[in-house]
Amino acid sequence: MASMQDPSRMLELIERLPRMVADAWALPVDPPVPAMQPASVVTLGLGGSGIGGDLLRSLLAGEAPFPVIGVKDYHLPAFVGPGSLVLACSYSGATEETLAAYDQAAASGAACVVITSGGALLARARGRGHAAVVVPAGLPPRAALAYLFIPMLAVLHRMGALRSFEAEVHEAARLDADRYRGKAEGLAGRLVERIPVVYSASPFLEPVAQRWKDQFNENAKTFAVWNTFPELNHNETVGWGLDGALARLIHVIILHDRGQSARLSQRVTITKEIAFHRAGGMDEFTSEGESKLSRLLSLILLGDLVSWHLAIKRDTDPTPVRVIDELKRRLAAQP
């Protein structure tokens, strides 16, 4: 049911993430993708349409025989060409950076698959005979994460480049938003009038930390920061020497993976003692599930819920992104 603070029912979309995961795995690829063992996989996409590529890179880092590279720009790296697989993701099908990079990919001779709800991206793919996964329309792109991420796994499996993730998809589809509701609302209450700083305790969760930051930005309309261990120990840790009054405006959120190494856990413990104790508050959460996919998505579901509750506590509608809309309007008016 819609509420005055959430008229577009963002909460319902967040809670549907597990069901969307199952639906997305079954979406058809038209025309079917041919067999291929890519030398590299390049994902195109920005914002809510780009985080899926980041999750793909993290999920496959320990097992794929090819690198996964994300491009969030108008231009492709020079190595992209025959032998590369390019997965072009734009929920609207109108993201100008993705359209420009996709055109370059097509011209380079790379194999291309588009994931979109329609627009110019789908029209160009149809005109070129490229495979397309058409996802349900009518959602804010950030609420369509499952539809933009899971089909990448399905495409790679169907072309024989990757094992099936069906069992992992079924596990992730059983995630239950209700079990995170109390944690999410409690954390949101502690974040009012503070700046969230989200740290992933391992590089595996790096895109999850970024997703938390992005959802704070778009849903709660608040500033946020993210970084990851161990990289932050080589720079950002020193920045915690900031003035005590400023530090108390920060609320640290540390995201742990149940499979992270003992050495990373030691780093987190020491860093909390020598730096993060200055913060106004701190919370830690650990991923749930057996498979890597569930571990990623369990924390994403929690973070999405936190951002929604923070939006409501800040008395803001979580759905509109008027600053982004205005930027696009002004860009469209430029020659």
Catalytic residues: 218, 234, 328
Which ranges in the chain belong to alpha helices (H)? 10-15, 17-25, 51-60, 96-108, 119-128, 145-158, 166-172, 181-191, 206-218, 244-247, 262-274, 292-313, 322-333
DSSP state of 34: P
d(CA 322, CA 314) in angstroms, rounded, equals: 17
d(CA 65, CA 68) in angstroms, rounded, equals: 10
Burial label, 189 (beta-carbon count in 10 A; 0-12, 13-18, 19+): exposed
d(CA 148, CA 165) in angstroms, rounded, equals: 15
d(CA 261, CA 258) in angstroms, rounded, equals: 9
Which tokens go with 268?
């987190």
DSSP element (H, E) containing 281:
strand 281-286
d(CA 32, CA 306) in angstroms, rounded, equals: 39
SS3 198: strand
d(CA 248, CA 211) in angstroms, rounded, equals: 24
Note if the bond before 151 is cis, omega within 30 degrees.
Answer: no
DSSP state of 30: B
